[in-house]
Chain A
Amino acid sequence: MSNLFDLLVAGLATGAIYALVAVGFTLLWQTSQTINFAQGEFVMLPAFLMLAAMHVGAPFWLAIILGILLSMILLGLAFKLLLVDPMMRHGVLPLAIATMALAIGIKEAVKQFFSAEASPFPSIVPTGDVSILGHAVSLQSIGVLVVAILAVFGLTALLNRTSLGHQMQAAAQNPTVARIIGVPVERMILLTFLINAFLVALASLLITPIYLAKFSSGEVLGQAAFIAAIVGGFNQVRGAIAGGLLIGVLDNLAAAYVSTQYRAAVPMIFLIAVILFRPQGLLGRAEERTV
């Protein structure tokens, strides 16, 4: 039983990070129909930006700020202006393929400029344990969960409680009408790209101390977050959150109770089941798009 508790906590902590990344997937999809297959690499890169800042002598806190800012410029602004905007005109599929190419480009560039070997990354949460219900739970797991939950709550509050959030939702749901009533749709779309960049940088900061900074570490994350977004519902932020947590827990339970070799298959099987029986995702709503 204690084993189950440990697995749940570890699964939730990993799942919270999947959720952050998955939320980015749904945001980009809703506002600009972008399926970003480089999302995993977007999580890998900020850690290296922070490491680079530390190499030139910045203290860790400054490196975090610089890393997040640089991520927002590179993975938010530049990504939208240089890749999404020019490719968007050609449709969803060419854009998706372009993001796959971008993923390879980012990976190879990191390998070139840093190295193919993993690097250690400092943790923002101190190591140690606290006792919860008689179980020792690591501070790192709790820290990851708390930061991720705060980020998600912050985002939900922004979307639902502020005028800016309402404008973003309007831009996402019906750009034409939004434009007519005076919503600066283009700016709102750019804002979602910046938010996505912020979320992946945050995920990077939380996950890299555990997974280590390595050029290939985005592959697993990107795939898990993509599955999480589909399982939860690609068009709902809350769906992505639920999907992320669910995949995190499912992955850990599968590794413990099914088999380590087939752990990667279990979320996939779950994904197939969801697509077959509830194609809009667990919390998503069915939608039709004009083509």
Chain B
Amino acid sequence: MKSTILAGALLAFATATSVHAQAIKLADVAELSGGGATVGTNWKNGIDLAIEEINAKGGVLGRKLEVTHADSQSNPGVARAQVQKALDAEPYVLLGPGYSGSVKVTAPLAAEAGIAQIMGGEAAELTQAGNKFLFRTSFGQQSSMPKVAKYIHDEMKAKSVAVVWVNNDFGRGGRDVVVKELDRLGSKVVADLSTEAGQADFAADVGKIKAANPDAVFVYLNEEESARILKELKRQGVTAPLMGETTLIGQKVIELAGDAANGARGHVGLTTDAPVDLIKAFREKFSKKYNYVPDHNGLKGYLAVYMVKATTEKMGKVDPKKFADTLHGLTIKAADEPGILMDVTFSDTGDIDRQSFLVEVVEGKQVVKQVLPKVK
């Protein structure tokens, strides 16, 4: 009797492993509900689209990709529990989360398990903690802010700059890098204004900007606050050119700020409006499948899966332990792997170098004005 049960268990185990040996398992933990639902849903849909494409063409090294999605509820605590659960199932690579705060608390878990984590967070500190398993899909602040500062100094010819930032990890991280870079380039920061997350009234802050009379204003706030300050800047008649990041010129900001967003410029790492044929094709495929136009988070999820594909094919085998080592320092060219959309190079810290875009809001629409080249 005992031996029958043992034999049965062995058989079941053998069947299970053989089925799974064929598919490469990925685990995704994303913001599928809560405040980050837009971020997480775009990310998830991007992943699903990429996997569908890759599997339709025969998979990676002849093996199909398979993904499980878990919901972090936009909450770092839940994200941690979900990542632990996902890691217990021993995935090949962990995808997500998208929020920097959630990445911060889950990265040590993935590193401990020796599993590479490809995520959407953009806070500078994430890749500065010496984690050997963490990879970005978009620019960290330490890559984007120097480009922003260079643009303000070289193109806007601003000798004096007002910097407005939101007083949280995201805002402070960006502010520190941009102020340092502006200083290095010789543009003087004449007003350095911290504001609160969720702040409604920007009359006093804009009053200070007006008093400082800068050549340019750098605005680094979350979307809603960006819309409010844009309205207030218009209300008080500030005419200095405005520069920001994705958060200043995003579609949501344009919708909220209306006319006041016109003329604002921003540095954008990834945009579905980019004048790049592969990105246009991605946007078309995505819109056809999901019936809406994706934001940059859709691109990030899509790229994450193609990073897995390109790295695995480079190794020539499916080896979770070697994955991170192979991806460090790797350059993936869009000519070889069209799914990566644009040539990209990964640094030893998991940061990326890629071309990016300078976008201006013209009559309520994002218009790509300039393509900023890779740094190296």
Contact = CB atoms under 8 A, between A and B. Distances in A.
Interface of A: 3, 6-7, 10-11, 14, 116-120, 127, 129, 136, 138, 140-141, 210-212, 214, 216-217, 220, 251-256, 260-261, 263-264
Contacts of B259: 127
29 contacts: A3-B207, A3-B208, A6-B203, A6-B236, A7-B203, A10-B203, A10-B204, A10-B207, A117-B38, A117-B252, A120-B255, A127-B235, A127-B259, A136-B236, A141-B235, A210-B200, A210-B228, A210-B231, A210-B232, A211-B200, A212-B224, A214-B224, A216-B198, A220-B200, A252-B203, A252-B207, A253-B204, A255-B204, A260-B204
B8 interface: no
Contacts of A138: 235-237
Nearest to B37: A116
A127 B205 CA distance: 20
A291 B195 CA distance: 45
Contacts of A141: 235
Given A252-B207, A264-B196, 17 more contacts: A3-B207, A7-B204, A10-B201, A117-B252, A118-B224, A127-B234, A210-B232, A212-B228, A220-B200, A251-B201, A251-B204, A252-B201, A254-B204, A255-B203, A256-B207, A260-B204, A260-B205
Contacts of A3: 207-208, 210-211
Interface string B256-297: 111100000000000000000000000000000000000000
Interface in B186-223: 193-196, 198, 200-201, 203-205, 207-208, 210-211
Given A127-B234, A140-B235, A217-B200, A211 B228 contact: yes
Contacts, number: 86
A48 B174 CA distance: 34
The CB with the most chain A CB atoms within 10 A, among B205, B232, B236, is that of B236
A260 B163 CA distance: 14
The prevalent SS among residues of B at the interface is helix
Given A118-B256, A214-B224, A7 B200 contact: no
Nearest to B38: A117
B204 A256 contact: yes
